[in-house]
Amino acid sequence: MAIAGTTPSSPFLGHVPFHIVIGKSSFAQFTHNSLFRGSKTTVKVLLPLGEFTSIWFPQSQRFRQRSRIRATGNPSMRSAGGAIRTLLITGVSRGLGKALALELAKRGHYIIGCARSQDKLNAFQTELASSTNPPSENKHLLMSVDVSLNSSVEEFARAVMEKKGVPDIIVNCAGTINRNNKLWEVPAEEFDSVIDTNLKGTANVLRHFIPLMLEKKQGVIVNMSSGWGRSGAAQVAPYCASKWAIEGLTASVAKELPPGMAAVALNPGVIYTDMLQSCFGNSASLYQTPESWAPKAANMILNLTMADNGASLSV
């Protein structure tokens, strides 16, 4: 049996081709033709048919990219065993956070969401309830939270424990980007806003929710990174700095977690959002929408395990 496809790479370098050949043995051969070094790496891994399989390969000297492939069969659209999960997602009022929350609710999972705008949350509450399977207005918890403020996240954590308990999965999705500008022309307040939301906001969530997860000795943390957290780009230095920091923060926190838990940095890819439009202008509409991205991201997130701890992943 042979399987061919592509694995995510830099959003501007396209995709890295792979080819898998499954013989009579229980092993599959994975060949990686590197776009970066012109090299070829072959490894052997167990490949259970019909399930998602994670394969490590060296993409560059700095990073390891974990690619997810699927063999032919009937893979479940929900996590192993069909378990219902409680997922905490920051930044649920728009963009990727909103699309992901709606997709997960549609599959029957419980959503704990936060965003700064109460008006947007009120509108989203109705949309989330109608998307829920089965429809329900009381299944989820939405709160107005400013993740850049430690005190706001601390209050959020107390409310979550009182009303919903410890989440199974945390997705740090809240983010912002600076207006296109050379670094020395970015106002100090704008630079601070990017770092406070993207980096400090993630750290604040981890500070207050990891101790809760430690009591259960299980849980998955997904910190939203970017292709610009693994490469540089002109005009968006503050954003790149914040996402490179997310990669380092995640790798370090992963080393501090006990068995049974995992923290990963996830590059969502290039998606048509307000943030992308601020960078690319009208050409942002050429990329996939959050709604088309969400099913793939949900599959990936729901199938993360402790074996993924410390990985830098891409949808």
Q: What are the beta bridge partners of residue 182?
A: none
Token pair belonging to 42:
């072959």
Token pair belonging to 33:
């033709």
Which helix (H) or strand (E) segment holds residue 46: the answer is: strand 40-46
Which DSSP letter does residue 108 get? T
**SS3 call for 66:** strand
Looking at the chain, list the stretches that DSSP marks H as alpha helix, in order from N- to C-terminal side. 95-106, 118-131, 150-163, 188-195, 201-216, 237-256, 274-280, 290-302
Task: Indicate which residue of 110, 239, 272, 287 is catalytic.
Answer: 239
Q: Which of 205, 243, 230 shows the shortest CA–CA distance to 91? A: 205
Exposure on the CB side of residue 285, measured as CA atoms within 13 A: 2
CA distance 177 to 183: 13
Exposure on the CB side of residue 115, measured as CA atoms within 13 A: 22
Active site annotation includes 272:
no
Please check whether residue 207 is in contact with residue 221, taking contact to mean a CB–CB distance below 8 angstroms: no
Looking at the annotation, which residues are catalytic? 239
